[in-house]
Amino acid sequence: MSLTVPTDRVVVRTLVSLKLRLLANGLRRSPQRKAVYILGSVLGLLFTALVALGIALLHGHAGAPDAAVMLATALAVGWAALPLFLFSSDESADPTRLTMLPLRPAALLRGSLLAALIGPGPVLALVLLGGAGVAAAGGWASVPAAVLGVPLAVVTLVTLSRAVAAGNARLLSSRRGKDFAIFGGLLFAVLIQIGNLASQSVLGRPGHHLDLSPLKPFASVLRWIPPVSAIDASRTAADGSYTPAVLQLASTGVLLALLLRWWRGSLQQLMVTADSSTLIAARGVGRSPAARFFPEGRVGAVMQRHLRYAWREPRAKAAVFTSIGMTLVFCVLSVVQGWASVYVVTLAGVMLGLQMVNLFGMDGSAFWMVSATLATPADARSELRGRAYAVLSYAVPISLLLGLVLAVATGDWAGLAPALGLTLAALGTGVGLGALLSVLAPYAMPADSNPMRNAAPGQGGVVLLNSFGSLLGVALLTLPVGGVLAWLLIADLPAWPVLLLGPVYGAALATLGIRLAAARLLDRLPEILATAIER
């Protein structure tokens, strides 16, 4: 049977049509989702236009070209990094969907590039870089450089994004790629927050004179790195340095050519290389060397299973690392903004202790295997104890480490002991309360490709009960330890006894919560199972 290979023109036209059809299908939803989609797009465009207008109004300011360079740098980093985090949510960015078709790499490259230039992303980049080009310009001589540099920079950013996605397509479509997306997304969010704090400290607070001079050392280096150099070419041309301006544009053109070559090579390799997921690798099965560190019996087995899920399941991993990331952001905020305190570590105990919330909802339909083995109250207690020990196995070391870091940053070594005591009290309280809520108020978690979706539709009320109710409950139940600590501090007495009181109090509440939850678990098994499989 002969296979007809489509012409290059047909391939390009088809890929562009597919991208337009994907955009059109995004509007063919329910009226509510369509309204949200349109409203979000309009608000995003308005916000981008305001940012572009704000930087364009800097035209004539001594530091305007430096601000334009920094904006272009931020866009370049974003376009290079976001495909690694949002790969699975953009169907048009995955070239592995076309590997079974008889397509030539050159035609596939041209069609993919034209399709990638269609959509809200390139439009927003064009608006922002247009504002940056206006800010960097300084006269009529800079107009040709800006007219060439802005579109060239946009095409280079789009090509950079797709080249990165194609070069890492096999990895990003695997489970490890999804794990990397979770870690990278959280890290990227933390870095954005740190960059925001740094920009506030550098540029000053609202109401103060705008000082862009701190940007000059960074911009003096970044303006020669493509594709940022294409935006700065208008400034260089305005200064009368036409040869450096041409070199800045040429360097971006060279980068574009290299990226296209890399992209084509990645596409060609994807077309002729077998997917490793289709290859079967024989692996030995045996007892894990780490198993000797776990308790014997059901408790140890449950611990191992829970930790394996927390490491392999994207949703569980997202929950754990989101809690750690939020705690780190607050720690950095406290240090940068000047209100640092070693007691900020208490937030780690609260957030990590609440990893016990909705234990069974994340199991999904696999919970029937757990429920089939729960025959006695002792089995129920062992199940909950094993999961609690698993949470504590990483929550306690992380809390201690963050406490030490905050003590070093603040120099408040005297407050480290009571802060850790309060943290361990909150951690134990969260474990006990989470066990109760897991039994009394479980909710289903959808098993889709988006690990940030944390509940099935129609269960918003139960999610709010678990989220805000658990936070309020931990705060109230930890008040006795907090009251003792406050009394010791007010009375100017040594506060180190809280380090002894906190763990004892937390362990007592954790034990009480697990026992109360275990007493209801056997009776609630049918309801929990029905909720867990509701996807």
pLDDT over 70 at 85, yes or no: no
Q: How many CA atoms lie within 13 A of 239 on its CB side?
A: 11
Instruction: Pick the more confident residue, 338 or 14.
Output: 14
Mean pLDDT to the nearest integer, 29-58: 79
Q: Which pLDDT score is estimated for 209?
A: 59
Q: Which pLDDT score is estimated for 476?
A: 93
For residue 436, what are the CA distances in angstroms to 247, 439, 507? 66, 5, 15
Q: Which pLDDT score is estimated for 449?
A: 43
Q: Which pLDDT score is estimated for 482?
A: 92
What percent of the chain is predicted at pLDDT more than 90? 23
Q: How many CA atoms lie within 13 A of 464 on its CB side?
A: 4
pLDDT over 70 at 460, yes or no: no
pLDDT over 90 at 515, yes or no: yes
For residue 204, what are the CA distances in angstroms to 61, 197, 219, 289? 16, 10, 18, 54
d(CA 204, CA 213): 11
In this structure, of 391-395, 396-400, 468-472, the range with the lowest mean pLDDT score is: 468-472
**pTM given for the model:** 0.58
Instruction: Pick the more confident residue, 28 or 208.
Output: 28
Do the beta carbons of residue 342 and residue 416 sit within 8 Å? yes
pLDDT over 90 at 396, yes or no: yes
What percent of the chain is predicted at pLDDT more than 70? 77
Mean pLDDT to the nearest integer, 97-126: 82
Confidence tier at 247 by pLDDT (50, 70, 90) = very high
Q: Which pLDDT score is estimated for 430?
A: 93
d(CA 341, CA 367): 42
User: CA 428, 433, 439, 443: dihedral to nearest 10 degrees?
Assistant: -110
Q: Which pLDDT score is estimated for 527?
A: 84
Instruction: Pick the more confident residue, 67 or 22.
Output: 67
Note the helical H segments in 441-534. Answer: 460-464, 470-477, 479-490, 498-532
Q: Which pLDDT score is estimated for 481?
A: 94
Instruction: Pick the more confident residue, 186 or 140.
Output: 140
Closest CA to 143 of 233, 56, 223: 233
244 Cβ neighbours under 8 A, 6+ residues apart: 236
pLDDT per residue as tens digits for the range 312-343: 776 677 777 777 777 777 777 777 667 778 89
The DSSP code for 204 is -
Angle at 327 between CA 326 and CA 330, to 5 degrees: 90
Confidence tier at 471 by pLDDT (50, 70, 90) = confident
Burial 376-410 (b: 16+ CB within 10 A, else e): eeebbbbbbbbbbbbbbeebbebbbebbeebbebb
pLDDT per residue as tens digits for the range 493-507: 888 899 999 999 999
Confidence tier at 535 by pLDDT (50, 70, 90) = low
Q: Which pLDDT score is estimated for 283?
A: 45
Mean pLDDT to the nearest integer, 139-148: 86
Instruction: Pick the more confident residue, 86 or 296.
Output: 296
Mean pLDDT to the nearest integer, 359-365: 76
In this structure, of 211-220, 311-320, 431-440, the range with the lowest mean pLDDT score is: 311-320
Q: Which pLDDT score is estimated for 93?
A: 63
pLDDT over 80 at 488, yes or no: yes
Q: Which pLDDT score is estimated for 281?
A: 43
